[in-house]
Structure 1
Amino acid sequence: MKLTNTLLATAALTVATGSAHAESHMANDMTLVSWGGAYQASQQKAYVEPYQEMNSDVNIVWDESSNEAVAKLRAMNEADNITWDLVDVVAADAIRLCDEGLAMEIDFNEMLADGDDGSKAEDDFGDMLVSDCYIPQIVYSTTFGYRTDMVPEGADAPSEICDVFDLETYPGKRSLEKRPINNMEWALLCDGVAKEDVYDVLATPEGQDQALAKLGTIKDDVIWWSAGADTPQLLADGEVFMGSTYNGRLFSVIEEQDQPVAMMWDAQVFDLDGWIIPTGLPEDRLARVMDFVKFATDTQRLADQAKYISYGPARASSAPLVGQHAELGIEMGPHMPTDPANAGNTFLYNYEFWADYRDDIDAKFQSWLAQ
């Protein structure tokens, strides 16, 4: 769905030079939707707090429902009652929302700030712009952490993705996300499917069954998680030996909480987090959102987020500005999923595949879980 002339006019008004006339047309309340935890805290510190310092009359509240964004935006649209102003989603969900007309298309060069190096936004974000409706913020990965004090005597620390499926060498509970994404890919990799063939295989009913059969070999030893905070807590409590979660969550457990946990970067799955703007916002709310987005996605702000969490900024111009953690004083570069030392064997998430197959494979996966 292309932007209407009205929306374009409103957006242009918003990204103007901050005149009193533009300000008078902006709403003073804004609801942002994200994931909670360390990631949302990094957004609060890098984006919201400095924005509110410049706009003291603006009230911003958080809703931690990003994992349900597609379903909830569908329901809001059906009811003609959009209560969210700006929603953080992963790339595949952004593609689905865009295809369904639930997310607004973005004129990147017009609506977003140029890079500090003079580059236009479209060039600065480059390949991260995987959808016309999506404004990327960070590159993160889903990977595994494990308890260093639970490694069996005489065994090496787990270092390869297929160690997750090796209950003989590495007994103990695992935690996996309660959805097919990533789990199905890892299962096929560890069942002998070549990396470049994974999505071709997963597109077939037989390939889906193969992945579920491999997951079935550890199913009885899995605790399924839904919230990003679950695996870090399970690891901290010693309830699981190893578990998948977002690399920033593991950074928090290891570096901030000083838990006996280590990272296993092998076959980490790169993904993007970023903003979508729901279609159908009233003009005053859209104006406020666009003003905030232009500020919150500029070069400095994306670099600033990396002071609080180990996610790589989505703008090329931000990378050289990534420095030390704001509180710990440690260099953040080596903790990024994109660091060469961590990225020796990555798995590239296929956004288009999951945008096309998500609903059907979700249903099959949840039916398998219930068996």
Structure 2
Amino acid sequence: MTTTRAGRLYAPIVFAMLIASGASHARDLTVVGFGGSLQDAMRTAYFEPFSKRYGAPLIEESYTGGIAKLKAMNQSRTVTWDVLQMDENEMTLACDEGLLEPFDWKSQPNAADILPQVKAPCGVGAFVWSKVLAFDPAKTPGVKSWADFWDIKRWPGERGLRKQARMTLEIALLADGVAPDKLYETLGTKAGVDRAFAKLDQIKPHIRWWVSGAQPVEWLAAGNVVMTSAYNGRVAAANKDGRAFTMLWTQQLYSADYWTIPKGTDKLKAARELIAFMTSADAQKRFAETIPYGVTNNRASALIDPKIQPDLPTAPQNMAGALMIDTPFWVNNEDELQQRFERWVAQ
């Protein structure tokens, strides 16, 4: 047995035997994420060190979310994904539909260190992310809030928003003056939903809809949009590569992504070993220092370079006025609101 710096035990020899015993299978352990700079960071912090430690090749795939493929694999009994990154809402839906393996917290070596808020029946928190307002201050100076996102006269040009009701309706209400602590109370009423769509009507001709997390920063860099909603880590990665984008932490929208295991994988033990590795303190430290997303392992927080801390969505100064995405609200209301949203977009 070897011991990591975080004091957690792993079994490289046992794991190598697991891999070897599965050699008759035609595929290697497959991990699926959301691509782009986020998955690049995962490769650096997780996938390559894991493969090096265990001598076990990993196959990477990427997707843009949703549970349709998960359903198709489950129904056909040809599960080729072993570890899957999911947002909290889709994980909850997939778990309720029996598409994910129950998470075995008893065998999770880092269980005591994981934030209780991200311990789920079918997954463990991978990281905390934030959706922020991003722009190039050299081209769009003076932007200070989501309300400014709606000011076409002062800052003409296209705006980027995700083509999804979830978080887009929240942004519209924040721009319309609804306080974060009153937002879901408002959105839970017909009048509140109507108010959000009426607000979106004001800028509809100026919206460019994105579907993958890589698009917003690409569009900013190309000048396709003057400002956009974007994931904080993607903006930080672009700045690390030489951009000088600004992201506003004011009224950031935050949640967590999770590591899950598709139901029916024939590599269950290996999948659990990979997740244990990725949720260790040392691995999460590497991840946060590669791309600044919040960690879910309490022990990792103390290991992160202090210079990185202010760039994390979970930094105290960045949480002032932040909005936590209400997953139960969306589990109960997403079908109806997404259908209305799609009709509205098509009009």
> Could you tell me the TM-score, scaled by structure 2's length?
0.90
- Residue pair 1:136, 1:272 contacting (<8 A) in 2 also: yes
1:111 matched to 2:107: yes
Aligned CA distance change for structure 1 residues 46 and 127 (closer, same or farther; 3 Å) = same
Q: 2:247 aligns with which of 232, 239, 263?
A: 263
Aligned to 1:43: 42
Note the C-alpha offset of 1:227. Answer: 1.0
Distance, in Å, in 2 between the alignment partners of 1:336 and 1:16 is 32
Note the C-alpha offset of 1:304. Answer: 1.2
Matches within 5 A, 1:1-371: 18-19=13-14, 22=18, 24-26=20-22, 29-56=28-55, 58-68=56-66, 70-108=67-105, 110-114=106-110, 121-122=111-112, 124-129=114-119, 131-151=120-140, 157-254=142-239, 256-282=240-266, 285-323=267-305, 331-371=307-347
> Could you tell me the TM-score, scaled by structure 1's length?
0.85
Aligned CA distance change for structure 1 residues 24 and 63 (closer, same or farther; 3 Å) = closer
DSSP 3-state at the match of 2:209: strand
DSSP 3-state at the match of 1:345: coil
- Residue pair 1:91, 1:134 contacting (<8 A) in 2 also: no
- Residue pair 2:134, 2:227 contacting (<8 A) in 1 also: yes
Distance, in Å, in 2 between the alignment partners of 1:278 and 1:96 is 13
DSSP 3-state at the match of 1:353: helix
Alignment deviations for residues 201-254 of structure 1 (CA, whole Å, 9 cap, x no partner): 323333222211101101111111011111101111122111011001111122
Question: What are the ranges of 5 or more consecutive residues in structure 2 without an aligned counterpart?
Answer: 1-9
- Residue pair 1:268, 1:345 contacting (<8 A) in 2 also: yes
Note the C-alpha offset of 1:91. Answer: 1.0
Alignment deviations for residues 5-30 of structure 1 (CA, whole Å, 9 cap, x no partner): xxxxxxxxxx7684376555456711
DSSP 3-state at the match of 1:274: strand
Alignment deviations for residues 82-118 of structure 1 (CA, whole Å, 9 cap, x no partner): 111110011111111111111111132x22223xxxx
Question: What are the ranges of 5 or more consecutive residues in structure 1 without an aligned counterpart?
Answer: 1-14, 115-120, 325-330
The one-letter amino acid paired with 2:127 is I
Aligned CA distance change for structure 1 residues 21 and 149 (closer, same or farther; 3 Å) = closer
- Residue pair 1:95, 1:355 contacting (<8 A) in 2 also: yes
- Residue pair 1:174, 1:240 contacting (<8 A) in 2 also: yes
Q: Which stretch has the larger CA shift, 160-169 or 197-206?
A: 197-206
Aligned CA distance change for structure 1 residues 21 and 261 (closer, same or farther; 3 Å) = closer
The one-letter amino acid paired with 2:91 is A
- Residue pair 2:149, 2:227 contacting (<8 A) in 1 also: yes
- Residue pair 1:250, 1:263 contacting (<8 A) in 2 also: yes
- Residue pair 2:145, 2:175 contacting (<8 A) in 1 also: no
Identity %: 31
DSSP 3-state at the match of 2:334: helix
DSSP 3-state at the match of 1:313: coil
Note the C-alpha offset of 1:134. Answer: 1.4
Q: Which stretch has the larger CA shift, 223-232 or 260-269?
A: 260-269
The one-letter amino acid paired with 2:102 is E
Aligned CA distance change for structure 1 residues 37 and 23 (closer, same or farther; 3 Å) = closer
Distance, in Å, in 1 between the alignment partners of 2:11 and 2:60 is 26
Aligned CA distance change for structure 1 residues 18 and 147 (closer, same or farther; 3 Å) = same
Distance, in Å, in 1 between the alignment partners of 2:263 and 2:346 is 36
Note the C-alpha offset of 1:78. Answer: 1.9
Distance, in Å, in 2 between the alignment partners of 1:126 and 1:79 is 35
Distance, in Å, in 1 between the alignment partners of 2:18 and 2:68 is 33
Aligned to 1:8: none
Distance, in Å, in 2 between the alignment partners of 1:192 and 1:337 is 22
Aligned residue-pair number? 334
Note the C-alpha offset of 1:33. Answer: 0.8
- Residue pair 2:160, 2:207 contacting (<8 A) in 1 also: yes
